[in-house]
Structure 1
Amino acid sequence: MEQLIQNLDGRTDQATRRMLHNVVQRKRKFDKFKKNHLIVMWATIGMAGIFLAYLYLTTIKPYSYSFYEVFSVFVSRSPNLYFLILTAGLFGLMNLLKEKREKAEKEFHALRCEIIDKSKDLWKKEDEWKNRHLVFEMMKKMYDINLFHENK
């Protein structure tokens, strides 16, 4: 468990600390998928650009007088197939990572909203309720998780 969350002894109970730890883990998972999706998206865009430039310079420009020649040269050269498979594979990976990112975001947002909704139950005692803003500020400052409002 996170050291900062574990040091909240007087302000929260064990179940609340566990929920805070889980929301931090889900936030990290979401951030990881978000970063990976962005990297693969730019790699897909770059590979598609390189493939189109290669295709234009080696196939379209020299054989532009006939569509049949462009098509036959495209099919006869094996690097075109490799570029096409690589670009399509990157595109598929990008879509897969996007779905995983969206799922991780939903899980993170659902748990964050649950903590916000149950805050009256999680901080039952009067002194805990008065100090809960310190926990919320620590979560915002250290982990960039806003527990003050449900909206992102």
Structure 2
Amino acid sequence: MDYLEDYRNMVPDATKQMLTVLIQKKAEKEKWKSLLNQWGFSFMFILVLFWVYASFTIADLTGQEGAGRLLSDPVVWICGLFCMLSGFQLMRLRKKHGKADDEYESARRDFIDRNEEWWSEREQWDNRHLVLEFMKNEYNINVINK
């Protein structure tokens, strides 16, 4: 994919490749963030569902009778199993999102630190702000050195 087709004369090939890497790393980071949010919402939904079910099921029961009835209910076991599954999934996705975020930030900082190396000709250097604004507006990637 050529993300920067409109700017082919303003951007050297090495810079295009680095910006493409940034776009791909940002997309990967957003993918993991989206999955993390989906699993988080499903975890919260099942907890609320469990709480509502448990409060109506054992509302009139107290003590050991209520606890015994609650523990023998298959819906409670299914909710517990799903809560455990989604908890493990949340931990796994949090690690993957953190790794993707670190890789993206590292590549972004590297691009900013080596900004003068990416633009070889004077005309490209003078027009780099157009490309950097495009990256900010189109992909929400801030590579402007501020």
Map Cα deviations across residues 75-131 of structure 1 (whole Å, 9 max, x no partner).
Answer: 222221111101221222222222222211111111111111111111132222111
Which residue is equivalent to 1:58?
57
Structure 2: stretches of 5+ with no match in the other structure: none
Give the AA of the match of 1:89: L
AA aligned opposite 2:104 = F
Letter in 2 for 1:37: L
Counterpart in 2 of 1:113?
109
Q: Which has the higher contact order (CA 8 A, sep 6+)?
A: 2
Aligned position for 2:45: 46
Normalized against structure 2, the TM-score is what? Answer: 0.90
Whole-angstrom distance in 2 between the partners of 1:90 and 1:100: 15
Q: Which runs of 5+ in 1 are unaligned?
A: none
Write the deviation string for residues 35-61 of structure 1: whole angstroms up to 9, x where unpaired: 2211211111111000111112113x2
Q: Does 1:99 align with 2:95?
A: yes
Aligned equivalents of 2:117 and 2:37: distance in 1?
38
Identity of aligned residues (%): 24
What's the counterpart of residue 140 of structure 1? 136
Task: Give the distance between the partners of 2:112 and 2:52, measured in 1 at CA.
Answer: 51
CA shift at 1:18, angstroms?
0.7
Spell out the pairing of 1:14-93 with structure 2 (5 A cutoff).
Answer: 14-59=13-58, 61-64=59-62, 66=63, 68-93=64-89
Aligned length: 146
